[in-house]
């Protein structure tokens, strides 16, 4: 058993309380490799932002869970080297799908876990989530639960259709389970194809897809039922057109990729939404930068020469999210 506290990590309780009161959101960025982690830590440390490092089941399979945990421990030291004397870094399991997986993360030093029982019948979601909470809280590890289903296809997260969170369930769910935060479904979805073209309109000038707005009325209802309770938005990449264009220009094929407009995320960040999950935008920035080098410098074969520019572009993207979308810059407690 390793406590995250001995690794210099923090749970999400305090950062969420401050974010709700301050009208901003904490960035939750997924990482699978060293370059993503470096870019996240550089961006959050230089901007003095709390940050949540998210590890999905797919990331654990790709990179090895032990290695990822040690990388997060190293990230705390790296943040200090960058001049951030009191970093607030949470290590969070993204979309945990079983008690055993959540327990293993708690036991190895994660400071926060998500138990995603959103595809289960309601009562089973409650029972599983409560079991994880009861275990995690013994070690002061915070727990995120989910109600409602996000559409989207990722390696490990698959759902054909989205179902908005039912506001009438949220009080019962949070009080029965004791979760610290609640992920909800209000129209976001995972991946770079968040909406089908038939769900969107087209901008007559650019020909680009314009996605339907998020269901802020559902969010409002939820906030009325749970005043001041930390709400989480998954599937919140905005799929920046400049990266999609860059990928397509340099030989990629991402037709009609579409994300959540940043002004809607900004609006959400000012409410009780205090954690915003972003993964796909990092994948897009990485891929765009690598493709550019491959096309412009076909003789290049040193991975540092294409992973380096990818890291730089991700850092720029993370900084933009922190400052212009989430508003979490200069929000460290000390
Ligand atoms: O919510 C899903 C995350 O983007 C993780 O995706 O399962 O492909 O690692 P992944
Ligand atoms: P995106 O695919 O929109 O980046 O969502 C990531 C996410 O929700 C991770 O849990
Ligand atoms: Zn997610």
Q: What is the pLDDT of residues 23-50, one digit of tens each?
A: 999 999 999 999 999 999 999 999 999 9
> Rounded distance, CA 274 to CA 270, Å?
8
CB atoms closer than 10 angstroms to residue 186? 24
Q: What's the gap in Å between 235 CA and the centre of ligand 3?
A: 5
- Look up residue 332 and give its DSSP letter: -
No. of helices (H) and no. of strands (E), the chain:
12, 12
Distance CA 35, CA 285 (A): 12
Reduce the DSSP state of residue 61 to 3 states and report it: helix
Confidence of residue 160 (pLDDT cuts 50, 70, 90): low
With a 6 Å cutoff on the Cβ, whether 234 touches ligand 2 is yes
- Does 288 contact ligand 2 (Cβ within 6 A)? no
Task: Say if residue 152's pLDDT is above 70.
Answer: no
* Closest C-alpha residue for ligand 1 atom 9: 58
What is the C-alpha to C-alpha distance for residues 57 and 65, in angstroms, rounded to an integer?
A: 9
The count of C-alpha atoms lying within 13 angstroms of the C-alpha of 52, restricted to the half-sphere facing its C-beta, is 32
Q: Which of 254, 253, 251, 219 is nearest to 236 (CA)?
A: 219
CA 155 / ligand 2 centre spacing (Å): 11
Q: Is 94 in the pocket of ligand 2 (CB under 6 A)?
A: yes
Least confidently predicted of 35-44, 193-202, 285-294: 193-202
Give residue 168's pLDDT. 98
Contacts of 14 (CB under 8 A, 6+ apart): 88, 333
pLDDT at 156: 58
**What positions carry a catalytic annotation?**
94
Provide the pLDDT confidence category of residue 293 given band limits of 50, 70 and 90: very high
Question: Residue 25 in 3-state DSSP?
Answer: coil
What is the distance between the alpha carbons of residues 76 and 21, in angstroms, rounded to a whole number? 26
Q: How confident is the model at residue 151 (pLDDT cuts 50, 70, 90)?
A: confident
**Percent of the chain, pLDDT > 70?**
97
Q: Is 133 helix (H, G, I), strand (E, B) or coil?
A: helix
Residue 153 has pLDDT above 60, yes or no: no
Provide the Cα torsion 282, 234, 327, 179; round to 10°.
-130
CA dihedral over 172, 94, 139, 80, signed as positive or negative: negative
- Kind and range of the H or E run holding 54: strand 51-56
Determine which helix (DSSP H) or strand (DSSP E) holds 320, and give its type and residue range.
Answer: helix 303-320
Query: How far is Cα 166 from Cα 35, in angstroms, rounded to an integer?
Result: 39
Determine whether the shortest distance from the Cβ of 185 to ligand 2 is under 6 A: no
Candidate from 60-69, 75-84, 151-160, 258-267 with smallest mean pLDDT: 151-160
Strands (E), 79-225: 89-96, 112-115, 142-147, 152-153, 158-159, 181-184, 201-202, 209-210
CA-closest residue to ligand 2 atom 9: 277
Q: What is the mean pLDDT of residues 275-281?
A: 98
Percent of the chain whose pLDDT exceeds 90: 92
CA atoms within 13 A on the CB side of 74: 11
Rounded distance, CA 239 to CA 315, Å? 16
Residue 280 scores a pLDDT above 70: yes
Q: What angle do CA 167, 26, 178 make, to 5 degrees?
A: 45
Which residues have any ligand 1 atom within 6 Å of their CB?
30, 56, 58-59, 94-95, 154-157, 190, 234, 279
Closest C-alpha residue for ligand 1 atom 4: 279
Is the Cβ atom of 157 under 6 angstroms away from ligand 2? no
Atom of ligand 1 minimally distant from the CA of 62: 9
Cβ 57 under 6 angstroms from ligand 2: no
| pLDDT at position 329 | 98
What is the average per-residue pLDDT within 52-70? 96
For the cut 90, the answer to whether the pLDDT of residue 63 exceeds it is: yes
In the beta sheet, which residues pair with residue 30? Answer: 54
Query: Which residue minimizes the CA distance to atom 1 of ligand 2?
Result: 235
Ligand 1 pocket mutation pick from 93, 94, 275 by most atoms within 8 angstroms of CB: 94
**Cα-based torsion angle of the residue sequence 324, 226, 56, 141 in order, rounded to the nearest 10 degrees:** 110
Among the atoms of ligand 2, which is closest to the Cα of residue 239?
Answer: 3
Residue 108 confidence class, pLDDT cut points 50, 70, 90: very high
Quote the ligand 3 centre to 206 CA distance (angstroms): 30
Distance 53 CA to ligand 1 centre (A): 13
Q: For 199-202, which contacts have Cβ atoms below 8 Å and span 24 or more sequence positions?
A: 200/258
Cα 110 to Cα 187: distance, rounded to the nearest angstrom? 29
- How does residue 105 score in pLDDT terms, banded at 50, 70 and 90? very high
Res. 196 pLDDT band, cuts 50 70 90:
confident
């Amino acid at each position: 058993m390793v406590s995250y506290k001995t690794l210099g990590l923090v749970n999400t309780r305090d950062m969420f309380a401050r974010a709700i009161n301050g009208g901003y959101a904490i960035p939750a960025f997924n990482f699978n490799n060293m370059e993503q982690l470096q870019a996240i830590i550089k961006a959050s440390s230089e901007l003095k932002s709390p940050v949540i490092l998210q590890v999905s089941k797919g990331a654990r399979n790709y990179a090895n869970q032990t290695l990822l945990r040690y990388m997060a421990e190293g990230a705390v030291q790296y943040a200090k080297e960058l001049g951030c004397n009191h970093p607030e870094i949470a290590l969070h399991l993204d979309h945990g799908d079983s008690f055993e997986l959540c327990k293993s993360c708690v036991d190895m030093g994660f400071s926060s876990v998500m138990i995603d029982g959103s595809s289960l019948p309601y009562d089973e979601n409650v029972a599983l989530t409560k079991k994880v909470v009861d275990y995690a809280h013994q070690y002061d590890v915070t727990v995120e639960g989910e109600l409602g289903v996000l559409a989207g296809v990722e390696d490990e997260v698959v759902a054909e259709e989205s179902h908005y969170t039912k506001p009438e369930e949220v009080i019962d769910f949070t009080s029965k389970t004791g979760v610290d935060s609640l992920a909800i479904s209000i129209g976001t979805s995972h991946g770079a194809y968040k909406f089908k073209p038939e769900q969107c309109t087209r901008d007559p000038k650019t020909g680009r897809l314009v996605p339907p707005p998020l269901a802020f009325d559902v969010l409002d209802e939820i906030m009325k039922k749970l005043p001041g309770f930390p709400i989480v938005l998954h599937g919140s990449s905005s799929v920046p057109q400049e990266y999609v264009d860059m990928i397509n220009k340099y030989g990629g094929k991402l037709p009609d990729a579409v994300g959540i407009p940043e002004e809607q995320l900004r609006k959400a960040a000012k409410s009780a939404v205090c954690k915003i999950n972003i993964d796909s935008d990092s994948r897009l920035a990485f891929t765009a930068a690598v493709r550019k080098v491959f096309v412009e410098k076909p003789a290049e074969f040193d991975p540092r020469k294409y992973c380096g520019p990818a890291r730089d572009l991700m850092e720029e993207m993370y900084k933009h999210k922190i400052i212009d979308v989430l508003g979490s810059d200069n929000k460290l407690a000390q």
